[in-house]
Amino acid sequence: MGRSTTVPLAQTGSGAGGLTPILMIALLFGVMYFMMIRPQQKRRREAEQMQSALSPGDEVVTIGGLYGTVTDVADETVLLEVAPGVQTRYARPAIARVVTRAEQPEAETITEEAEPVKE
């Protein structure tokens, strides 16, 4: 009687067959990182810079849509004047964007006038 030899199915495939799903998952994570995570980190960094640069006189909009003018800045809070004589205190992260920056006084340059030459 002759014996038939059967080869297991796992040995007939190539070695790259098991590598393809891992590469697809890695590619998916790479795409997600560059399309979602990285831009979100950039927006968060820009928002933190904007909030740390707030100064009195800046016109801002809060995350609730309230427009106001910054009158005082503390460590964690910002005092906004929303109407003449009406001031409200907000946390710095509640400021969504700056509408206009306060006019910074330009540094005066001192120019020395040349003394007249005596002849």
- Per-residue pLDDT, 43: 93
- Per-residue pLDDT, 100: 87
What pTM does this model have? 0.58
94, 68 Cβ separation under 8 angstroms: no
* Distances in whole angstroms, Cα of residue 37 to Cα of each of 27, 77, 97, 109: 15, 28, 21, 46
Spans of the chain, pLDDT less than 70: 1-16, 104-119
- Per-residue pLDDT, 114: 55
- Give residue 67's region: left, alpha or beta (phi > 0; psi -120 to 50): beta
